[in-house]
Amino acid sequence: MQRRNLLQWMLGAALGASLATGAIAQDKPIRIGVTGGPHAQIMEQVKKVAARDGLNIQVVEFSDYIQPNAALAAGDLDANSYQHLPYLEAQIKDRGYKFTHIAYTVTFPMGVYSKKIKSLDQLKQGARVGVPNDPTNGGRGLLLLQSKGVIKLKPNAGLKATPLDIAENPKKIRIVELDAAQLPRSLDDLDAAAINGNYAESAGLSPTKDAIAMEGPKGPYANLIAIREADKGKPWVAKLVKAYHSPEIKQYVTSTFKDSVITAW
């Protein structure tokens, strides 16, 4: 009889340990990669909203555009929130990632900044103008310069324009391609630079106050949340989108960033 009770106790303990292990696995946080600045700030607020719906989020911050997708592909992240669709599509094509996007988030208007001039009309012959060195954001910078009459691109250049696509360059400006995160710190060495809104914000630059030229409010550069295709049907995905698209997050973005960051839903 004692032996039977001991066996029942051992089975119960094993079952309890199994259930505890299952609970731990179930409570494992959803790891979301972001770049520093507004993306990270917004996701920290999403984390609070999602917690009310039982979704545990861990925000993982990166300092460049390459690693969040590499980490997602490697399984070190469950999602990332930092890139726009042209960049994601370029990454999928170039690196073979099996990703999809589940929701649009915010738009950061790209602006041209300078410590030396107040207007693009003041650019001198041979001026050095920085643009991001990744294909989609570099093309975005060139398109912004074209929209302001600084250069003219070949008709078929598209969103992935490169300096080789410059057809007309009256002032013979020199395009300097740098990592997007380095551009704000390079303004002392450049005459001007086209800088993504999130990196401008991180450097204390306001697109509406400090930019000498800025993109219009409409365009293909709304940021999004990316996940692996295999995870699309998982329950946490819908909870994440619900939290991000909540009224609380829209209000937070509007009150915190004013016109520097615009919600895309």
Amino acid at 211: A
DSSP state of 186: G
Residue 170 and residue 148 in contact, taking contact as beta carbons nearer than 8 Å: no
State the DSSP string of 81-100.
EEEEHHHHHHHHHHH---EE
Q: Tell me if the domain spanning 111-214 has CATH number 3.40.190.10.
A: yes
Q: What is the pLDDT at residue 16? A: 46
120: amino acid identity, one letter: L
Of the candidates 73, 72, 63, 62, the residue with the CA atom closest to the CA atom of residue 30: 72
The pLDDT of residue 19 is: 38
pLDDT at 254 > cutoff 90: yes
Inter-residue contact 243 to 223 (CB < 8 Å):
no
The pTM (predicted TM-score) of the whole model is 0.71
pLDDT at 110: 94
pLDDT tens profile 136-163: 899 999 999 999 999 999 999 988 899 9
Closest-CA residue to 66 (of 87, 48, 46, 42): 87
User: How would residue 208 be classed by pLDDT, with cut points 50, 70 and 90?
Assistant: confident
Q: Do domains 28-108+221-263 and 111-214 have the same CATH topology?
A: yes
Residue type, 64: D
Secondary structure (3-state) at 148? coil
**Residue-wise pLDDT tens digits, 55-109:** 999 999 999 999 999 999 999 999 999 999 999 999 999 999 999 999 999 998 8
HSE of 200, CA atoms in CB hemisphere, 13 A: 26
Percent of the chain at pLDDT exceeding 70: 89
- The tens digit of pLDDT for each residue in 209-250 reads 899 999 876 678 899 999 999 999 999 999 999 999 999 999
223 bridge partner residues: 84
CA–CA gap between residue 113 and residue 183 (Å, rounded) = 10
Task: Please give the radius of gyration of the chain, using alpha carbons only, rounded to the nearest integer.
Answer: 23
Output the pLDDT for position 259: 74
For the chain, what are the domain ranges?
Answer: 28-108+221-263, 111-214
What percent of the chain has a predicted confidence (pLDDT) above 90?
A: 77
Reference 179, options 218, 137, 151; nearest CA is 137
**Closest C-alpha to 263, from 224, 227, 210:** 224
Q: Which fold has domain 28-108+221-263?
A: D-Maltodextrin-Binding Protein; domain 2 (3.40.190)
The whole-angstrom distance between residue 157's C-alpha and the CA centroid of its chain comes to 24
- Where does residue 218 fall: left (phi above 0), alpha (psi -120 to 50 degrees), or beta otherwise? beta
**Section 113-121 average pLDDT:** 97
Q: Which residue has the tokens 């070949």?
A: 154
Is the predicted pLDDT of residue 10 greater than 60, yes or no? Answer: no
Q: pLDDT averaged over the chain?
A: 90
Summarize pLDDT for 158-185 with one digit per residue, the tens. Answer: 888 999 999 999 999 999 999 999 999 9
Beta pairing partners, 192? 129
The DSSP call for residue 80 is E
- Asked if residue 128 lies in contact with residue 176, where contact means CB atoms within 8 angstroms, the answer is yes
- Give the model's confidence band at 191: pLDDT under 50 very low, under 70 low, under 90 confident, else very high: very high
Contact present, 77 and 239 (Cβ < 8 Å): no
Of the candidates 213, 249, 243, 200, the one whose C-alpha atom is nearest the C-alpha of residue 79 is: 243
